[in-house]
Amino acid sequence: VASRGRGRGGARAMPHPDPRELATANVGSNIRPRSATRDIRSSQTGGGWHLGKHTQHGSDAQFTQMGITGDFVRVFPARAEIRNTEPNVTHVLTITVVNRSDHSKRIRFIPPKTKEFTLHQIPSIAVAPGLEMTADLEYYSEADADFFDEVTVLCETDRITIPVFAYAPRAELHFDGYCLFGSVAPSQMTIRYVDIVNRGARAADFRLLNKQEMPFVVEP
C-alpha cells in the first residue's frame, strides 16, 4: 500500500490467565480455566479484522475467552463455538461452572433443543465453594452446515445463557485493521505492507477495493 495518509495501530493480545485465580475472579476479568476448553478451544482472534461469513472483531474474540459471572456461579466459556465441523463426525466441547459463593450450591443445566447438539452431564450433589462441575456438549450432524442453539445454567437466582455455534469449514481472512504510514511529507511516496492470512479451512478468493478520490495505490 502506498499513500500520503496517516493511521493508528491495532490491539494487544490478552495474556494467558492462571486458573488458580478462579475463586477470586471479578466481573470482566480475563480468568478462564484450561478445563473449559479441554476438547475444543474457542477461536482466538487478536487485534485487527476477521473476514468470513461470521465476522468477529478483536474485542469480541477477547469476550469469547472470558466467562460469564453471576451472583453464585461463573460459567466458561461465555460463547461456545465449534469450528470446522465435518459431517458424520462427533465434536465435543466442555462447559465448566465454578461455584464462586461461600456455600454449597446445586447447579442445573437446560440442554439445547436442536437435535444436532447433545448435553452430557452427570447429576451430582451440591458443589462446594470454589469447586467446579462440567458438562460435555456434543455436536453431530450429517449436513455440512452451520447450527445455532443455547445452553442455560441455573443456580438459585442465576440464569446464565451460553450461545452455542457450530460452524462448517470456511475461509477466514485476517489482517490488521489499520495501516500506519506515520508523517508523510508532500509529494513523498511511502510504502507499507499489509499481510493477509487465511486461517480458515477452505481456500479464499478476494479483491482489494480502492476509493479513487483517496491518495492511495493498492497493489496487487
In the numeric block, the cell 477470586 is attached to 24
The conformation of residue 47, written as its DSSP 8-state character, comes to S
Residue 46: its pLDDT value, please?
35
Residues in a beta bridge with 147:
166
Cα separation of the two ends of the chain: 9
d(CA 120, CA 58): 31
Angle at alpha carbon of residue 176, lines to 190 and 207, rounded to 5°? 80
Segments of the chain with pLDDT less than 50? 3-17, 19-63
Residue 187: its pLDDT value, please?
82
C-alpha grid cell, residue 100: 464462586
Regarding pTM above 0.95, the answer is: no
99-117 b/e (C-beta count within 10 Å ≥ 16 → b): bbbeeebebebebbeeebb
d(CA 117, CA 135): 12
Q: Which of 170, 171, 119, 161 is nearest to 140 (CA)?
A: 119
